Amino acid sequence: MIKLENVTKVYKGDNVALRDATLDIGKGEFVFLVGASGSGKSTFIRLLNREEVPEHGKIFVAGKDIANLGTWKVPYLRRNIGYIFQDFKLLPNKTVAENVAFALEVIGKPRHVVKKQVPAILELVGLSQKMSNFPHELSGGEQQRVSIARAFVNRPLILLADEPTGNLDPQTSVGIMRLLDRINRTGTTVVMATHDRGIVDTMRRRVIELDRGVIVRDQARGVYE
Amino acid sequence: MAISPLYALRETGQNLWRNILLTTATIITIGVSLLMFGSFRLFNDAVDNATQRWEGGIEFVIWMNPEASAEQDSAILEALVSSPQIRDHTYVDQLETFEEFKELFADTPEMIEVVTPEAMPPSYRVVPLDPDADVVEELANQFRGRPGVKEVVSANETIRSIQDLADRAGIFLFAGSFVLLAAATLLILTNIVSAIRNRGREIEIMKVVGATNWFIRIPFMLEGLAQAMIGAALSWGGLYAFDRFVLSEFSQPDGLELLAGFQVSDEQFLTTTIWLLGIAIVVSVIGSLVAVTRYLDA
């Protein structure tokens, strides 16, 4: 599903964020990206979403070399990739249902599809009772569930999560991880950057560790360190 | 993927409403600048219409009797050709005079209905070497009262003053409208940049979930277009009032005889309207394209 071949990303001032990275992530895998702040986790995720372009190497997503993708094709790539933010990034003037529907409306999905898919995804994340609430009326965990619903409502092949539990307490984080695990079991590939040792050690999934832009560990059913 | 018209209208409306003060300032600036430009065009058209027989250095006109004989006619022509004080002359026949008359009284067809080309006097439009008023008057006098000549009319200083005033006012209106249009373009740009910044998070989400660039851009571009079109409509209203209540006053029977014909035809007014729309579109496209390419796609 995802393949990196000798990928190097350098920011201004010769700041190497990712160096000569090569790896394969299969369909339906759940992968944790771990490493200290500045180790290149976020860059890795941004490269997969084509927010960044590598200086060297190739990145294949669903068989397509996205490093050489034309700019006009990028939106179509992103429709196959869900993105979960650490700080949720919900729209404060829209209700829960409207926030989720927004993700479908802006890619031109017909109204009847929106009407059908939004309640279904809110049911999946356990927020059916709060469809009409505004984000400020929700807890942090509930806001992250809305963010996950928005990322998954279009049934993407890949879900990228950049520290999705970073702003949540441990108990709420467990609930979010259960939800991501459930989504992963539908066949969706999940790539999640995290600092949460407890979650990584509990779930025992594939762990890729980065250190100053270099992949120093790639372990199946791994732990945080 | 097509953008839904309802979505585009809703987003454009919201963008305009969120920045209502800046939107109002932009619309007023566009309206005033286009009004100045439109006035410049209409004023020029009106002056041209009123003074068209005095253009190209023509200082006096020898109107011949429609019944003048060929001998009388050639005697005048010979005098014009042989005079060392005359640089050039043009003969305007009865049909051409009739066409001129029709243009001058385009808005009063009842006047046109009662005349025929045969009733029109042909004329010689004379360009002297020296445009000095005394010299022109002396030259004109040489032709007054000659056989076949109906009347000799010279361009007096008032007509020259009107042309001079029109030129100066035209420069002021044109320069003023140009400066204001530049300001309006910057205001449209500022307004859209402000809307883009207000909706930063929305735009970020749109990009992340795969909205196309055009889907994101179109409401902002429509915002610029809407402001320009409302401004153009306001200026059109102002120009309509200017045409109906100011220019038409000059051509009233009790108005100054000199300013008879100081009006614009419907065709000229339509041309100016098209200019206003065209400029409004260009201004909005420049302002909004710079805003979306520089601040949205970055």
Write the DSSP assignment of B100-156 as a string of letters: HHHHHTTT-HHHHHT--GGGSPPEEEEEES---HHHHHHHHHHHTT-TTEEEEEE--
Q: Which two tokens stand for residue A148?
A: 């996950």
Same domain, B178 and B195: yes
pLDDT tens digits along B35-65: 988 988 888 888 777 776 676 677 788 889 8
Same domain, B183 and B36: yes
Of all helices (H) and strands (E), which one includes residue B269?
A: helix B266-291
Q: Under 8 Å CB-to-CB from B193, ≥6 apart: which residues?
A: B291, B295
Same domain, B46 and B173: yes
Residue A96 has what pLDDT? 96
Q: Under 8 Å CB-to-CB from B216, ≥6 apart: which residues?
A: A106, B203, B206, B207, B296
State which residue of chain B sits closest to A89, comparing Cα positions: B201
Same domain, B105 and B83: yes
Chain A positions in Cβ-Cβ contact with residue B216 (cut-off 8 Å): 106
Residue B280 has what pLDDT? 92
The total number of structural domains in chain B stands at 2
Distance between CA B296 and CA A57 in Å, rounded? 28
State which residue of chain A sits closest to B208, comparing Cα positions: A78
Same domain, B31 and B165: yes
Closest CA to B29 of B292, B279, B222: B279
Between the two ends of chain B, the Cα-to-Cα distance in Å is 22
- At A82, give phi and psi (nearest 5°): -90, 150
Q: How far is B16 from chain A (nearest CA, A)?
A: 17
Which of B120, B154, B188 marks a domain boundary?
B154
Domain that includes residue B13, residue range: 5-52+159-296
Q: Taking residues B4-21, what's their average pLDDT?
A: 81
- Rg (chain B; Cα; Å): 28
In the predicted model, residues of chain A with pLDDT beneath 70 are none
pLDDT tens digits along B150-194: 888 877 666 667 777 778 888 888 888 889 889 888 988 888 888
Residue B261 has what pLDDT? 62
Q: Under 8 Å CB-to-CB from A200, ≥6 apart: which residues?
A: A32, A34, A194, A207, A222, A223, A224
Residue B71 sits in a domain whose CATH number is 3.30.70.3040
Residue B184 has what pLDDT? 87
Chain B interface includes A14 (CB < 8 A): no
Residue B253: pLDDT above 80? no
Residue B1 has what pLDDT? 52
Same domain, B109 and B22: no
Task: Determine, for residues B1 and A91 on separate chains, whether the beta-carbon distance falls below 8 Å.
Answer: no
Task: Determine, for residues B205 and A72 on separate chains, whether the beta-carbon distance falls below 8 Å.
Answer: no
pLDDT tens digits along A97-155: 999 999 999 998 988 999 999 999 999 999 999 999 999 999 999 999 999 999 999 99
Residue B254 has what pLDDT? 54
The three-class DSSP label of residue B270 is helix
More confident: B4 or B232: B232
Same domain, B20 and B168: yes
Mean of pLDDT over chain B? 83
pTM of the model: 0.71
Residue B258 has what pLDDT? 53
Same domain, B32 and B45: yes
Nearest to B205 among A71, A72, A89 (CB): A89
Residue A49 has what pLDDT? 92
Residues in chain B: 298
Q: Which of B209, B215, B220, B293 to mutate to test the interface with A (most CBs of A within 10 A)?
A: B209
Same domain, B170 and B223: yes
Which of B154, B171, B187 marks a domain boundary?
B154
Percent of chain B with pLDDT over 90: 16
Percent of chain B with pLDDT over 70: 89
Same domain, B164 and B232: yes
Residue B251 has what pLDDT? 60
* A127 alpha-carbon distance from chain centroid: 20
- At B114, give phi and psi (nearest 5°): -90, -5
Which of B154, B176, B191 marks a domain boundary?
B154
Residue B242 has what pLDDT? 83
Closest CA to A218 of A191, A199, A198, A196: A191
Chain B interface includes A78 (CB < 8 A): yes
Residue B90 has what pLDDT? 86
Residue B256: pLDDT above 70? no
Same domain, B163 and B249: yes
Q: For A155, left (φ over 0), alpha (ψ -120 to 50), or beta? A: left
Chain A positions in Cβ-Cβ contact with residue B2 (cut-off 8 Å): 108
Of the listed ranges A6-10, A25-29, B102-106, B286-290, the one predicted with least confidence? B102-106
Same domain, B175 and B266: yes
